[in-house]
Structure 1
Amino acid sequence: MSPQGGAPIRRRSLLRGATLLAVGGSATLAGCGDTSGGVSGASPAEKGETEGPGGITVTDQRGATISLVGPARRIVTLPMPAAALLVAVDQGAEHLVGMHDASWVAMKDGIMGEMFPDVLDIAHDIAGQDFAPNVESVVGLEPDLVIQWGEMGEEVITPLENAGLQVAGLTYGGQQELTAWITFFATVLGKPERGAEINTRMEQDLQTIRAFGEARRGGGPRILYFNRFAEGLTVAGNETYNDFYIDLVGGTNVASGDGGAPGSGMVEVDREQVLAWDPEIVLLGNFDDALPQDLYSDKVWAGLSAVRTRQVYKVPLGGYRWDPPSQESPLLWRWLSQLVFPDDSGDSSLRTDIVDQFDFLYGQQPTPAQIDTMLWSEANASSAHYEQFHAS
């Protein structure tokens, strides 16, 4: 993926329309977003419009038509980010009846389980780690709609359809797909205006951050994101969302482009390759338990620029992990922008922005202690420039 994004960046000035580029195949709901949150030049179904008295018809990202007699009231989600996104669009978990275990773990470990305690009681033993569904368990939840990965092959969808279930196959990977997902969920929930509002805000955030990034182009630090670190090194290479937002804020992903990791996506590398790249900033994802201290205390990494300058950071974990695309991505963009260019950040208002965004997305205002937990304030406390995110 290759989409792009000084002065302080403030939430009040961060509002929202962009040419959105993304990873993944073409999809009818994954077109470039217009300012209404729909899809430019799309049919009524692709824009998420209802058809017929009370009925809803949409086209999923496989090109399959989904017809509902009315707004979905019992939804099962198998793709990992879908559960949290559904809660954000719906501003509650009332209509979520099942999810993948990895989604449940993210909710348990993050603030979502505190904001909506009932989500921890939702069924989450309905599919394997390979997303192969336990059809009997899913059928038992009596869903109006099941959300499944659309790019993993018919073998994870056909058994559900053969059981008489309505299944939407969605693809994922970039900003364009995220915009499409928001539109899709808002449509099937019968809340198209809500989806349009979320997309409009996000698109204007993107434009603002992109303007900051363009102004810094060429002067940004070398950055490396670890999807996995604790047991084997896996980094974000070409055509990843991490590559997108590193470029967006004006940094350079050392694992992409000339001299980067071969191929695309998440790539396994060895220690020697990381040392040769010598990143100035290291980001540790939320898909394992690695923390900055793991690098600071290991002599193997002592010569790494990011270690010498104490610029290793654990990526925040909010209502969902901030590493992949989600409804909270604008907060990740701001957080990273202020870490990469701390002199531009001025008097940081990120904490205020978190409260504002969470109120908008979830109808909840996190406490200072909850924000500290989201930002991994304790784990990141010994890293450079992190004091800007401390509570005043």
Structure 2
Amino acid sequence: MRDADPNAGLDRRTVLQVFVAGGSAAVLAGCGAAGPAPGASPSGAPSSSAAAGSISITDQRGKTVTFDKPVTKVVTIPMPAASLLVAVDRGADHLGAMHNASWVAMRDGIMGSMFPAALDLPHDIASQDFIANVESVRALNPDVVIQWSDAQLIEPLEKAGLKVIGLANTGKQEDVDAWVAMFAAMLGKPERATEMKAHSDQELAEIKALAAGRTSAGPSILYFNRFTGGLKAAAANTYNDFYIKLVGGTNPATGADPLPGTGMVGLDVEQVLRWDPEVILLGNFDAAMPQDIYADPVWQDVSAVRSRRVYKVPLGGYRWDPPGQESPLMWHWLTDIAFPRPESGLRAKVTDYFRFLYNHQPTGEELDKILWTAANSKSAGYQQFNAA
């Protein structure tokens, strides 16, 4: 999973154009970091309009991909793409295969119980580094393959005659908007992108208003993408850095003593001790839990450990740590972690959002699973997320 821009998503400028061509939706999504392809305008839009009745999408490489009709079989390789497709489609019928990490999130979260047939789909189509098994993908005969926009990842698929939509991930909320718009268009459901963006924009405005209304500074919050088997934290140009700052916190990994480089950067315990973060977030890319830190003598001098402010990030239809369709729920959860209150309204918000995204009303047990209420039960203030 890639992450980026520390100030991402704050201006929410529109980078998508949706238009109708002969009654079918066409999307021009020109916010790729790689720059426009030959023949494309600087915005990434194609130089000529789509043919009547077809669906034309300009991906985040600036390359235009055209379909004669809505797609019915999609292979996804970027980790967030499988669950995002399900959310846009409100079903898994058009998902043909996915990356193993996407499948693991479905198995371990509640996506697998909402859409159990998805767990039977192929999920050995690419390596951990997103390199596709081209022959396996070809054998599935998909209408389109979703892949990260790196040329070395896409070229083998295109040389095999497959249509590919390339996704960029600059760490901006605009990327999520672009992904949703492209998926909605190729599925023949452009109105779904409008609905999803409106919901996300509303939640973003609410979070910004809450942050702007505070008079006290927020805590320092350190996010671990990996904890077990070697530490990796969210540095500059990550979505995690964006939402830490969005809710009013600070990220020591991008502060006065920053980690070198961008993305998820390796570090040692001594660096964490120097930062002394007030809150630690454990991501869903390994099995580390708060109790693992609380029980380890190495971490006992860290403020977050002394005050019991170590938390496992929720896992819903997909992991809440990276960008995705449930990111607005992550913003609200982290706001309540940074600025705890006696009772959070998050359970009701998750219920409403899941109805909207998946046409599913989570049970109390499912809400507890999503929010890791058991694993986080010994952490300060987490009772606010319990059922009333």
Shared fold per TM-score greater than 0.5: yes
User: Given that residues 213 and 247 in structure 1 are in contact (C-alpha distance below 8 angstroms), is that contact kept between their aligned partners in structure 2?
Assistant: no
How far the C-alpha of 1:142 sits from its partner, in A, is 1.0
Mean CA deviation greater in 217-226 or 330-339: 217-226
| Letter in structure 2 aligned against 1:227 | N
- Deviations 1:114-167 (CA, angstroms, capped at 9, x unpaired): 0000000111111111222111111111111111110x3x23212211221111
Report the secondary structure of 2:280's partner residue. Answer: strand
Report the secondary structure of 1:20's partner residue. Answer: coil
- Paired position in structure 2 for 1:351: 347
User: Given that residues 2 and 21 in structure 1 are in contact (C-alpha distance below 8 angstroms), is that contact kept between their aligned partners in structure 2?
Assistant: no
Distance 1:212-1:3 versus aligned 2 partners, 3 A rule: farther
User: Given that residues 218 and 250 in structure 1 are in contact (C-alpha distance below 8 angstroms), is that contact kept between their aligned partners in structure 2?
Assistant: no
Distance 1:4-1:186 versus aligned 2 partners, 3 A rule: closer
Distance 2:368 2:260 in 1: 37
What is the number of residues matched between the two proteins?
360
- In the TM superposition, 1:124-135 aligns within 5 A as 124-135=123-134
Distance 1:138 1:375 in 2: 34
User: Given that residues 31 and 43 in structure 2 are in contact (C-alpha distance below 8 angstroms), is that contact kept between their aligned partners in structure 1?
Assistant: no
| Letter in structure 1 aligned against 2:242 | F
Report the secondary structure of 2:213's partner residue. Answer: helix
Distance 2:43 2:13 in 1: 17
- Paired position in structure 1 for 2:7: 3
Distance 2:87 2:295 in 1: 38
Mean CA deviation greater in 209-218 or 354-363: 209-218
Distance 1:45-1:375 versus aligned 2 partners, 3 A rule: farther
How far the C-alpha of 1:275 sits from its partner, in A, is 0.6
* TM-score of the pair, normalised by structure 1: 0.87
- In the TM superposition, 1:226-241 aligns within 5 A as 226-241=224-239
- Paired position in structure 2 for 1:259: 257
Of 152, 168, 186, 2:165 maps to 168
Report the secondary structure of 1:146's partner residue. Answer: strand
Query: Are 2:221 and 1:223 aligned?
Result: yes
| Letter in structure 2 aligned against 1:29 | G
Query: Are 2:92 and 1:93 aligned?
Result: yes
Of 375, 381, 392, 2:377 maps to 381
**Contiguous gaps of at least 5 residues in structure 2:** 15-27, 33-41
- Paired position in structure 1 for 2:83: 84
- Paired position in structure 1 for 2:240: 242
Distance 1:261 1:155 in 2: 28
User: Given that residues 59 and 65 in structure 2 are in contact (C-alpha distance below 8 angstroms), is that contact kept between their aligned partners in structure 1?
Assistant: yes
Mean CA deviation greater in 173-182 or 239-248: 173-182
How far the C-alpha of 1:216 sits from its partner, in A, is 3.0
Query: Are 2:305 and 1:307 aligned?
Result: yes
Distance 1:19-1:279 versus aligned 2 partners, 3 A rule: same
Distance 1:233 1:155 in 2: 28
User: Given that residues 29 and 182 in structure 2 are in contact (C-alpha distance below 8 angstroms), is that contact kept between their aligned partners in structure 1?
Assistant: no
Report the secondary structure of 1:313's partner residue. Answer: strand
Query: Are 2:205 and 1:207 aligned?
Result: yes
- In the TM superposition, 1:285-304 aligns within 5 A as 285-304=283-302
| Letter in structure 2 aligned against 1:103 | S
Query: Are 2:58 and 1:62 aligned?
Result: no
Query: Are 2:141 and 1:142 aligned?
Result: yes
- Deviations 1:339-365 (CA, angstroms, capped at 9, x unpaired): 11114xx54211011110000000001
User: Given that residues 4 and 247 in structure 1 are in contact (C-alpha distance below 8 angstroms), is that contact kept between their aligned partners in structure 2?
Assistant: no
- Paired position in structure 2 for 1:9: none
User: Given that residues 30 and 45 in structure 2 are in contact (C-alpha distance below 8 angstroms), is that contact kept between their aligned partners in structure 1?
Assistant: no
How far the C-alpha of 1:217 sits from its partner, in A, is 6.6
Distance 2:95 2:257 in 1: 44
Distance 2:13 2:213 in 1: 20
| Letter in structure 2 aligned against 1:133 | A
- Paired position in structure 2 for 1:29: 30
User: Given that residues 283 and 313 in structure 1 are in contact (C-alpha distance below 8 angstroms), is that contact kept between their aligned partners in structure 2?
Assistant: yes
Distance 1:79 1:29 in 2: 19
Distance 1:192 1:212 in 2: 31
**Contiguous gaps of at least 5 residues in structure 1:** 6-17, 32-40
Distance 2:109 2:302 in 1: 30
Distance 1:268 1:20 in 2: 30
How far the C-alpha of 1:381 sits from its partner, in A, is 0.1
Distance 1:83 1:215 in 2: 37
User: Given that residues 3 and 21 in structure 1 are in contact (C-alpha distance below 8 angstroms), is that contact kept between their aligned partners in structure 2?
Assistant: no
How far the C-alpha of 1:29 sits from its partner, in A, is 3.0
Query: Are 2:11 and 1:19 aligned?
Result: yes
- In the TM superposition, 1:356-375 aligns within 5 A as 356-375=352-371
How far the C-alpha of 1:201 sits from its partner, in A, is 1.0
Distance 2:121 2:387 in 1: 33
Distance 1:363-1:42 versus aligned 2 partners, 3 A rule: farther
- Deviations 1:259-292 (CA, angstroms, capped at 9, x unpaired): 1212221111111110110001000000111000
User: Given that residues 4 and 213 in structure 1 are in contact (C-alpha distance below 8 angstroms), is that contact kept between their aligned partners in structure 2?
Assistant: no
Distance 1:95 1:349 in 2: 34
User: Given that residues 45 and 57 in structure 1 are in contact (C-alpha distance below 8 angstroms), is that contact kept between their aligned partners in structure 2?
Assistant: no
Distance 1:45 1:279 in 2: 47
- Paired position in structure 1 for 2:35: none
State the percentage of identical aligned residues: 55
Distance 1:43-1:226 versus aligned 2 partners, 3 A rule: closer
Distance 1:110 1:284 in 2: 16
User: Given that residues 74 and 96 in structure 1 are in contact (C-alpha distance below 8 angstroms), is that contact kept between their aligned partners in structure 2?
Assistant: yes
User: Given that residues 343 and 383 in structure 2 are in contact (C-alpha distance below 8 angstroms), is that contact kept between their aligned partners in structure 1?
Assistant: no
| Letter in structure 2 aligned against 1:204 | Q
